[in-house]
Amino acid sequence: MTRDLLQRLERGVVLLDGGLGTELIAMGLAQGQAPEWWVLERPEQVQQVHRAYAEAGSDVIHACTFGATPLKLHSAGLPGRCEEVNRRAVELARAAAGDALVAGDIGPTGVMFPPMGEATVEQLAASYEEQVGHLVRAGVDLLSIETMFDLREARVAVQAAARSGLPLLACMTFEARKRGVFTIMGDALVPSLRSLHAAGATAVGLNCSVDSSHMIPMLREAAAQLRCPLVAQPNAGQPQIGAAGVTYDATPEPFAADLMQMVRDGARVIGGCCGSTPEFIRVARRALDEG
């Protein structure tokens, strides 16, 4: 199997993994504690989730680095541990991935631009560049930017990641509003994705916020106007609060059917976000293989 995402994309649809943070919470990660803590303290648990996704048929395993920019690690109580967290997280993913590719996962810094916060482009660029450098040295096969809600920050992240020369997925998180599909900051779906592709992302798309049925029309809208490969990673339904904590209400079969609909509509890279489990990926793998 080739370690090149682009070659795999040429051959067909690429299946990512599913939720990592929600799986770790199910294993006992405390609410509010960053998953990166478990990279250092409970590595066997993190690896167990990676292995389950690899065995379920994921083509790509996301390393546990979503919150591993220096800025985010600082607010998570892990200041100064950027190199260590990224290196060890990639080691864990690689050891469990088998033939699957390993993606360096990159999420928002949590520091926002005015008027919400006081971030500057230089500050965020430096934070992303540092994480990307550690991920590249740790040997990831591709980079995957996820859950961006501010196009300005997403572009800074994409530019930093694209300079690595690695294949790059870039997803933002959108909701249907009265006047169309937007991020919480008011960035519109198609112009945002077009902008991220122009900034250097190999494939662009949507993750989180919505369940699979609500992502279908969004993906369709993007596919009608964009020529680049598209990514879709919906949540496994909507979160429900119960005595057992937060659960998600989707089941694997309808979720996989929605993913297959998005493939027919033009998605080339599919996977799951919050609440999706290895079982969701196993069912999606079967649906993909059966065509």
Partner 1 sequence: MSNESQPTPSAMSEAVVAGDAELARRLARQALEQGMPPLQAIEEGFVVGIRRAGQLWEEGDYFLPELVTSAEAMQAAMAVLRPALQRGAGGSVGRVVIGTVQGDIHDIGKTLVATLLSANGFEVSDEGSDVPVERFVERARELQADLVCASALLTTTMAAQRDLVQALARAGLSARVLVGGAPVTRAWAEQIGAAGHADSAVAAVEVARSLISGVQP
Tokens at residue 259, please? 């993913």
11 belongs to the binding site for partner 1 (CB under 8 A): no
Over the window 135 to 174, marking each residue x when it contacts partner 1 by CB under 8 A and - when it does not, the resulting string is ----------------------------------------
State yes or no: cis peptide before 115, omega within 30 of 0: yes
Q: Binding to partner 1 (CB under 8 A): which residues in 118-137?
A: none
- Quote the least distance from Cβ 241 to partner 1, whole Å: 6
- Quote the least distance from Cβ 249 to partner 1, whole Å: 12
Report DSSP letters for the chain, one per residue: --S-HHHHHHHSPEE----SHHHHHHTTPPTT--THHHHHH-HHHHHHHHHHHHHHT-SEEE-S-TT-SHHHHHHTT-TT-HHHHHHHHHHHHHHHHTTSEEEEEE---S---TTT----HHHHHHHHHHHHHHHHHTT-SEEEEEEE--HHHHHHHHHHHHTT-S-EEEEE--EEETTEEE-TT--BHHHHHHHHHHTT-SEEEEEEEEEHHHHHHHHHHHHHH--S-EEEEEESS-EEEETTEEEE---HHHHHHHHHHHHHHTEEEE---TT--HHHHHHHHHHHHH-
- Quote the least distance from Cβ 210 to partner 1, whole Å: 14
Q: Which is nearer to partner 1, 98 or 117 (CB)?
A: 117
Q: Which is nearer to partner 1, 75 or 159 (CB)?
A: 75
- Quote the least distance from Cβ 236 to partner 1, whole Å: 13
185 belongs to the binding site for partner 1 (CB under 8 A): yes
Over the window 221 to 250, marking each residue x when it contacts partner 1 by CB under 8 A and - when it does not, the resulting string is ------------------xxx-x-xx----
Q: Which is nearer to partner 1, 53 or 248 (CB)?
A: 248
In this structure, is the dihedral angle defined by the CA atoms of residues 110, 113, 118 and 120, taken in order, positive or negative?
positive
110 in Cβ contact with 70 (< 8 Å)? no
Per CB under 8 A, the list member of 38, 53, 66, 182 interacting with partner 1 is: 182
Q: Which stretch binds partner 1 (CB under 8 A): 107-115, 131-139, 157-165, 220-228?
A: 107-115
Q: Which is nearer to partner 1, 1 or 184 (CB)?
A: 184
184 belongs to the binding site for partner 1 (CB under 8 A): yes
Q: Which is nearer to partner 1, 179 or 227 (CB)?
A: 179
Q: Binding to partner 1 (CB under 8 A): which residues in 186-225?
A: 186
32 belongs to the binding site for partner 1 (CB under 8 A): yes
115 belongs to the binding site for partner 1 (CB under 8 A): yes
Per CB under 8 A, the list member of 44, 165, 178, 244 interacting with partner 1 is: 178
257 belongs to the binding site for partner 1 (CB under 8 A): no
31 belongs to the binding site for partner 1 (CB under 8 A): yes
Report DSSP letters for 117-162, one per residue: ----HHHHHHHHHHHHHHHHHTT-SEEEEEEE--HHHHHHHHHHHH
Provide the binding-site residues for partner 1, judged by CB under 8 A.
25, 31-32, 75, 110, 112, 115-116, 177-179, 182-186, 239-241, 243, 245-246
